[in-house]
Amino acid sequence: MSARENLSAASRQLMTELQSTGLRLVDPHAGAASRRGGAGPSDHKAVTVDGVTIMVPVHTSTAWNSPFVASQPDINGMSALLRGAIPIANISFPKPPRFYALQTFDGVPYSHIATLHSKDVLATTVLQTCIRYESRRKTCKFCAIGQSLAAGRTIARKTPEQLAEVARAAVLLDGVKHMVLTTGTPPTSDRGAQLLCDSAFAIKAAVHLPIQAQCEPPDDDRWFERMKASGIDTLGMHLEVVTPEVRERVMPGKASVPLSRYMEAFKAAVAVFGRGQVSTYILAGLGDTADAIVAMARELIDLGVYPFVVPFVPISGTPLEDHPAPTPEFMRSVLAPIGAMLGAAAMRSADIKAGCGKCGACSSLSSYEE
């Protein structure tokens, strides 16, 4: 059994609450650096609670008003977690990885090429630009893919050679266990599939590391075979939100790819990668009802797709920075039934070969798998 499956109901509840309300830090520099901007959930920091590492918002306006405070870590790296003034648990922060101290021959810091997520996942945005981000009118309103680039914390395009070099170092120096390759969407009909294939091929030639690729559904389902043949072990195609009106409102550009295309692509991808090895992100708290999210999750599980439901994090600098994060009650109302469905379908986070569903740090979903 994994540490997550062993969690007490109280720890599981605490994690769900922390991920909704965020955390205030007495020492913002404790442990590995927090993550700001970039693709996907961000403005959060890796925190270990009861042996399980999760990502907790620390830079959002919700977090600044959180009832939870982490005290200054002691000499063993342990911090008291306070709710108000009352200590309720001991937490710690994963240490900065050793590969962050290195740079390429041409002077690019490894941390600008890929970053450590949670405690043992290497993650990168291969292409840090996106057609959906070019127009603020069409952009996905929750996304901060351009912010880390503008702040000089990353480079626009990571070459396969750079990724292979960093992946090898992260495995050898820090024991990284799997890798996430995500990408902004380029203006090509493959939606970035070729870039992901080239990257995975180079990484697999350098080091044994299970890889998840993430992109929009490519124009042609034959890409899934090519991706698998390049060394990609699992695939993420992210719905983000599930109701047509919410899709139009929150991600007007990406909503041009209809839900029906996602469903077709999921089916074709599961035939290639296998049941439970294809996943999707669903950001709870952006307007979809709990019933809509649970109904979509049921449909996805029936197709063999792992619905990775995470609480929406309102990232500073995005159009949704003031949108409230979902309440812990709302999160429990979606995670509990979906966790039970995943358990009944024997589709577990622990059985995923690589990627966000396996990492699970951005959601407490896997602790609800029964």
Summarize as ranges the residues that interact with ligand SF4 (CB under 6 A): 40-41, 55, 117-118, 121, 123, 180, 356, 359, 361-362
CB of 189 to ligand SF4, least distance (A): 26
CB of 181 to ligand SF4, least distance (A): 11
Contacts for 79 with CB less than 8 Å, ≥ 6 apart: 26, 27, 30, 70, 71, 72, 73, 90, 91, 92, 93
Residue closer to ligand SF4 by CB (options 268, 293) is 293
Residue closer to ligand SF4 by CB (options 94, 231) is 94
**Torsion angles phi and psi, residue 223, rounded to 5:** -60, -30
CB of 165 to ligand SF4, least distance (A): 20
Residue closer to ligand SF4 by CB (options 268, 365) is 365
Residue closer to ligand SF4 by CB (options 180, 239) is 180
Residue closer to ligand SF4 by CB (options 235, 359) is 359
d(CA 201, CA 6): 36
d(CA 191, CA 218): 5
CB of 361 to ligand SF4, least distance (A): 4
Do 202 and 160 form a contact (C-beta atoms < 8 A)?
yes
CB of 107 to ligand SF4, least distance (A): 26
Residue closer to ligand SF4 by CB (options 19, 21) is 19
d(CA 352, CA 158): 26
Q: Which two tokens stand for residue 134?
A: 């070019």
d(CA 234, CA 106): 32
**Torsion angles phi and psi, residue 279, rounded to 5:** -140, 170
Nearest to 108 by CA among 146, 154, 145, 148: 154
CB of 179 to ligand SF4, least distance (A): 9
CB of 357 to ligand SF4, least distance (A): 8
CB of 98 to ligand SF4, least distance (A): 19
d(CA 302, CA 66): 37
Nearest to 233 by CA among 189, 281, 197: 197
Residue closer to ligand SF4 by CB (options 218, 236) is 236
Q: Which residues of 186-211 are buried (b: 16+ CB within 10 A; e: fewer)?
A: beeebbbbbbbbebbebbbebbebbb
